Chain A
C-alpha cells in the first residue's frame, strides 16, 4: 500500500472519529412545531400559544369592537404593565409572555406602551427622567397616567396517574382602566402529558 493511500485513510478515520464526538446543533423555527417540549417546563411553544390566545382575544373582544379609548399620540391607548404573578414551581421570566403581547399590541397601531411606569421602577429610566422633565417644564403635553394597565398570573397544576405525568399551566390576564375596572379578561390553559420512562435515565 502506498504512502498517499495510507495518509488519506488515516485522515478519513480521524475525521470520522472527531465527527462522531461532536453534537451538531440544528436551527428550528421557534414559531413552528419542531421545538422541544416537556412536561416540567413552560416551553417556547407554550409561550407562543399563550401569547397568541391573549392577543387574539384582546383584539377580537376589546380593540376590534371599538371599545378602546386612548389619550396617547393619534388617539392611541397608553398601556402600562402591572404585576404578572408567577405562581408556578419554576423560575420564569414573564417577559416571555408580556413582551410578545406588547409587540403585537404595538403592531395593531391602536396601543402604545408606557415604559416609564412600572411596579419595580421604570423599564427605561432615561425615558422616565425625560418625561418628568417635560411635565415639570410643561414643554409638551404628556399623559401622567396610562389609560390601561395589564396584569396577570401564571398558575401551575401537576398530577400523576400510573406512569403518566401531567402539567397544566394556566395563563390569566386582565386589562383595567384608570378607574380600576377590568374591561377585558382572558384565561388560556395549556395541559401537557408524558409517559415516564421505564428505565431511569
Chain B
C-alpha cells in the first residue's frame, strides 16, 4: 500500500495538471490603428431576455452593405467578454419593406464557438432582393 505522502503528492499533481489544462485561454488580437475601411453601422434595438448570455457574448456593433445585385449583407461583431470558451448559436431573420418575414430553408440556427476575450464576425446575406430589414437572434443552449 502506498504511503499517505505519496498519495497526497499524486493528488496535488493531478489537481495542478487539471488546473493548468483547463485554465482560461484568451485570445490576443492585433489590428491596424487606422483601419482602411469605414463600416456603415446601424442603430440597433436590443431585447434581452437571457442576461447571462448577454453578459458573456455581446454584440459590439452591426454594419450593413448592399452589393450590385441588390442583396442586403449584414455583419455583426460578437465579443466573448469572459475569459473562458463559450458556445452560442445565432439566427438571422429577414423582412421585406412591409415587415413581412421572408423565410427560406437557409434561415437556420448556426452554432459558433468563441475563445475567451475573442471577437468574431457573423455574416448574413438576405435571401432575396425584396429584403429591407433584419433581426439577429442569439441563443445560449448551443451544443
Please give the residue numbers on chain A whose beta carbons come within 8 Å of chain B beta carbons, in ascending order.
Answer: 31-34, 37, 45, 48-49, 51-52, 55-56, 59-60, 63-66, 68, 99-100, 103-104, 107-110
* Also in contact, A56 and B104, with CB within 8 A (given A34-B141, A110-B69): no
Report if B124 contacts A (CB, 8 A): yes
Contact with A along B116-143 (1 / 0, CB 8 A): 0000000111111100000000010111
Task: Output the nearest chain B residue to A56 by Cβ-Cβ distance.
Answer: B125
Report if B68 contacts A (CB, 8 A): yes
Q: Is the CB of B142 within 8 A of A65?
A: no
Task: Output the nearest chain B residue to A68 by Cβ-Cβ distance.
Answer: B69
Nearest CB of B to A48, in Å: 4
In whole angstroms, how far apart are the Cα atoms of A37 and B106 in the complex?
A: 19
Which residues of the other chain, A, contact B139 by a CB distance below 8 angstroms?
A: 32-33
Which residues of the other chain, B, contact A63 by a CB distance below 8 angstroms?
A: 69, 71
Which residues of the other chain, A, contact B109 by a CB distance below 8 angstroms?
A: 31-33, 45, 48
In whole angstroms, how far apart are the Cα atoms of A104 and B128 in the complex?
A: 9
Q: Is the CB of A33 within 8 A of B104?
A: no
Please give the residue numbers on chain B whose beta carbons come within 8 Å of chain A beta carbons, in ascending order.
Answer: 67-71, 73, 89, 91, 104-111, 123-129, 139, 141-143
Shortest beta-carbon contacts, A-B, top 3: A64-B67, A64-B69, A48-B108
- From A33, A64, A104, A108, give the contact of B142 (CB < 8 A): A33
- Residue among B106, B109, B141, B142 with the highest chain A CB neighbour number at 10 A: B106
Which residues of the other chain, B, contact A45 by a CB distance below 8 angstroms?
A: 108-109, 111
- From B68, B106, B128, B129, give the contact of A52 (CB < 8 A): B106
Q: Is the CB of A51 within 8 A of B106?
A: yes
* Also in contact, A66 and B125, with CB within 8 A (given A32-B109, A33-B89, A49-B111): no
Nearest CB of A to B33, in Å: 28
Which residues of the other chain, B, contact A110 by a CB distance below 8 angstroms?
A: 69
Q: Is the CB of A66 within 8 A of B110?
A: no
Q: Is the CB of A56 within 8 A of B123?
A: yes
